[in-house]
Amino acid sequence: MDEFANDISRHVWQSKYRFAGDGAREGGIADTWHRVAHALAAVETAPATWELRFFDILDGFTFLPGGRIQAGAGTARHVTLFNCFVMGPVEDSIRGIFRSLEEGAVTMQQGGGIGIDFSTLRPRGTRAKAAGAVASGPVSFMQVWDAMCGTILSTGARRGAMMATLRCDHPDIVEFVTAKRRPGHLSRFNLSVQVTDAFMDAVRADKDWPLVFPEATLDGDDGEMVMRHWPGVDVSVECRVVRRIGARELWDLILRATYDSAEPGVLFIDRINKMNNLSYREHISATNPCGEIPLPPYGACDLGSLNLTRFVEAPFTSKARLDDERLQETARIAVRLLDNVIDASRFPLPDQAENARGSRRVGLGITGLADTLAMLGLRYGSAESLEVAANTMKLICHAAYRASIELAHEKGSFPFYERDKYLAAPFIKSLPADIRDSIAHNGIRNSHLLAIAPTGTISLLAGNVSSGLEPVFAESYERQLLDENGEPQPFELTDYALALWREMNKTATGQPDAFVTTAELKVTDHLEMQAALQPYVDNSISKTINVPESYPFEDFKRIYDLAYDKGLKGCTTFRPNPVTGSVLSETGAMGSDLGPHCCTPEREAD
């Protein structure tokens, strides 16, 4: 029996995850799973026992570790097993900038995507107090990173993924949000604006908004001063108001840019920091390239996803159900596997190793949610689907936290753990009393445990199950992936759940009643699903809200208001446009369609 459901699954394995080197060549996916299980169990005191348990959850694509784990574990190659990193603060000097560039290059060369906050760089046209040199601004230096990423690619390293963020009160924010209106400009970056609560208040009150920068680095001493918590500084600093802009004017500019060119995204940065389990010791101003892991300077993301389709019993029947007990047990083993990644991995930089080993952050997530709902007879976006999805995520969340507590009892808590401060975190306070009491008594192994990633590549590996929590894109569609020579190769695909239903019913056409695609959903259905799961995710969620090309701009703006009001940590949308085009198109369709822009197998950090 073929272990791959379709040609694209085999292609993904062969081109991205199959190990062939040092005299070894994996003959099938089972060999890959044995390699990964063996490598990650090696850090255990009883490695043989845990190798079997790890293999059991990997076999059959039940648990899907992040791509760097699959590609690197057990190969002895000088690579990292972490998908992505957030880099340290970029020092506002030529030496500091190029030191940060070097750190980014080293990280990407070893296989990690990167996120960078460019807010520390002086705005264009200002003079430095020390040297008197005129600054060219953060966007100009982003072009240097973009060129570096392309150069790393040309050396044969895996393709790069980068996230750039900028504060909403940085004087160059307008240049930043409009930077990608030009096709091909900064093409290796995803962009996100750090939006504060104060800015949202100013937008809604139609107030002026000050654009500021730390006074200590600017020439002259005239002008209005305000206090701000600035990245790279542990305390609030005096900032000079460089100029003012209408808050609504800036907000409309941000949203018009993403309406027209699919970027930038928005990070509700105050909420991210307020809900951070480690807010007592770190400040976050950036995320990994797809946004599901907000990270401090030199933070790393250690990702894996539970394939929910593998837990459905009697699919497409009146007896269809999710095997909750097996799901929770798999989640517990997956937490241990991801925790072991921290000890088994190499790190490009010492600071990254220190942060990862100090916090032991992991990001256990899900994939195949939309297919699972269809298999259970539930329409994506319906009230019942939201309830089932939320309850499922709650089960995973609580199972993960209990597993981490058990690990702490066995192996010790993460080094940055401070009991009373940790227990005071809002997310921890929302957990059941027995979990909080157990943390107080035993500690906890991992500071964070949950994240929902886009999973485009690993979902293809698992037979083209629906990606992450995204709805099904289309019944059938064409997807292009790069081959080993970097050339695009087209694949005709049918959604996993739909293919299974047709196989069960011995038909080449038709679909189950509950099956629904992106084009049939309301925009609010996307938001409602993300909002339903967010209370049980301590990191964040990567979600692209697909918007039809004809969607009115005024309605589009309301998406972001709703996202903010529903307590989301960020918002990313995609509307078909001539700048980004699309990597997905429905079979027979012409031109661009509703494909996502950043969370695709050709852009995500696989």
Whether 224 is a known active-site residue: answer: no
User: Looking at 51, 263, 282, 292, which residue is catalytic?
Assistant: 292
Q: Is residue 225 part of a domain?
A: yes
Pairs from 214-217 (Cβ < 8 Å, separation ≥ 24): 214/238, 214/239, 214/240, 215/239, 215/240, 216/129, 217/92, 217/122, 217/128, 217/129
Can you name the residues that pair with 167 across neighbouring β-strands?
Answer: 194
Confidence of residue 589 (pLDDT cuts 50, 70, 90): very low
Q: What is the pLDDT of residues 27-66, one digit of tens each?
A: 999 999 999 999 999 999 999 999 999 999 999 999 999 9
292 is catalytic: yes
pLDDT for position 46: 96
Domain of residue 179, CATH code = 3.20.70.20
Three-state SS across 340-395? HHHHHCECCCHHHHHHHHHHCCCEEEEECHHHHHHHCCCCCCCHHHHHHHHHHHHH
Nearest to 542 by CA among 494, 597, 503: 597
- Whole-number percent of the chain with pLDDT over 70: 93
Confidence of residue 133 (pLDDT cuts 50, 70, 90): confident
Which pLDDT tens digit goes with each residue over 496-508? 999 999 999 999 9
State the Cα–Cα distance between residues 572 and 553, nearest whole angstrom.
Answer: 15
Per-residue pLDDT, 594: 37
Neighbours of 155 (CB within 10 A): 7
Query: What confidence score (pLDDT) does residue 602 get?
Result: 44
What pLDDT was estimated at residue 1?
47
Say if residue 288's pLDDT is above 60.
yes
pLDDT of residue 481: 81
Q: Domain containing 211: what range?
A: 84-287
Query: Is residue 224 situated within a structural domain?
Result: yes
Tokens found for residue 543: 């979600």
Which candidate in 83, 276, 288, 307 is catalytic? 288
Residue 188 lies in a domain: yes
Question: Does residue 157 fall inside a structural domain?
Answer: yes
pLDDT given for residue 446 in this prediction = 98
pLDDT classification of 554: cutoffs 50, 70, 90? very high
For residue 350, is it within any domain? no
Res 167: pLDDT: 98
CB count in 10 Å sphere of residue 182: 11
Give the global pTM: 0.95
Q: Is residue 317 part of a domain?
A: no
Catalytic residue among 290, 301, 598, 599: 290
Q: What is the pLDDT of residue 61?
A: 97
- Of 182-191, 368-377, 434-443, the one with minimum mean pLDDT is 182-191
Q: Work out the mean pLDDT of the chain and round it to a whole number.
A: 92
* Assigned domain for 260 exists: yes
Give pLDDT, residue 489: 86
* Residue 345 pLDDT greater than 70, yes or no: yes
In a domain, 138, yes or no: yes
**Higher-confidence residue: 228 or 584?**
228
Q: pLDDT band at residue 580, thresholds of 50, 70 and 90?
A: low
467-486, pLDDT tens digit by residue? 999 999 999 888 888 777 77
Write down the pLDDT at residue 23: 75
Residue 187, classified by CB atoms within 10 Å of its CB into exposed (0-12), middle (13-18) or buried (19+), is middle
Q: What is the pLDDT of residue 156?
A: 52
Residue 442 catalytic? no
> How many independent structural domains does the chain possess?
1
SS3 417: coil
- 437-473 pLDDT, tens digit each: 999 999 999 999 999 999 989 999 999 999 999 999 9
Q: What angle do CA 213, 219, 222 make, to 5 degrees?
A: 75
Q: Which two tokens stand for residue 30?
A: 């089972």
How would residue 593 be classed by pLDDT, with cut points 50, 70 and 90?
very low
List phi, psi (to 5°) of 514: -85, -5
